[in-house]
Amino acid sequence: MKQEKMSTEIKLPEAVEAKLEGNLIQLKGPNGTLERPFYYHKLSIELKPKSIVLSCRNATKRDKMHLGTFEAILKNMIKGVSEGFVYKLKICSSHFPMNVSFKDNVLSVKNFLGEKVPRTLEIQKDVSLKIDGNYIVLEGNDKEKVGAVAGSIEKLTRITNRDRRRFQDGIYIVEKAGKAIV
């Protein structure tokens, strides 16, 4: 059943400023700026002094789904420009001592399972990486980019053709945006 008009209002914190140009929303805060276009034919975006209003006329289930998705993306953007996101990965090596280094936006994993050729990954410029002992700490204001880099690092040390119960070497995500993974 269609609703006549569905809308949701997202409050902006004091330190965050928003700008709307067509479908492009720019958010500026103490942790940097983010911008993203929002395209959906039934969605209308309105900027009020301290809030952003997303509304949709004659909303169906699919339109409600898009409205909820855009609301979640905007909340992540607001949190990103005000606080930022931190992901932690743990370096685990039991069979062979693994060396992890970061230089010139390239992460290099040497001696992974005794391999002679190092595994490398180029890190996006928007994400800062710091190696702290057995942990890799990723920081950035865009949750999607930081999460994608964390997933790529975890995938870099994926083990194939071996028993995963026995070979548990690798780099694994242990904390996502402040939430510990069990």
Question: Structural domain boundaries of the chain?
Answer: 3-82, 85-180
Instruction: Kindly report the pTM of this predicted structure.
Output: 0.86
* Cα torsion through 99, 102, 107, 111, rounded to 10: -10
Q: What is the pLDDT of residue 153?
A: 94
Torsion sign (Cα): 146, 147, 152, 154: positive
Contact 159, 170 (CB under 8 A): yes
Q: How far apart are CA 35 and CA 46, in angstroms?
A: 16
pLDDT at residue 44, rounded to an integer = 86
The β-bridge partners of 6 are 56
Q: Exposed, middle or buried by CB within 10 Å (0-12, 13-18, 19+), for 179?
A: exposed
- CATH classification of 85-180, choosing from 3.40.50.720, 3.90.930.12, 3.30.70.3040, 3.40.930.10? 3.90.930.12
Contact 175, 181 (CB under 8 A): yes
Sequence-ordered alpha helix ranges (H) in 13-160: 61-82, 143-156
* pLDDT (tens place) for every residue of the chain, 182 residues total: 566 778 889 999 998 999 999 889 999 999 999 999 988 888 888 899 899 999 988 888 888 999 999 999 999 999 999 999 999 999 988 878 889 999 999 999 998 888 899 999 999 889 999 999 899 999 999 999 999 999 999 999 887 787 767 777 888 999 997 788 87
Q: Which CATH superfamily is domain 3-82 in?
A: Ribosomal protein L6 (3.90.930.12)
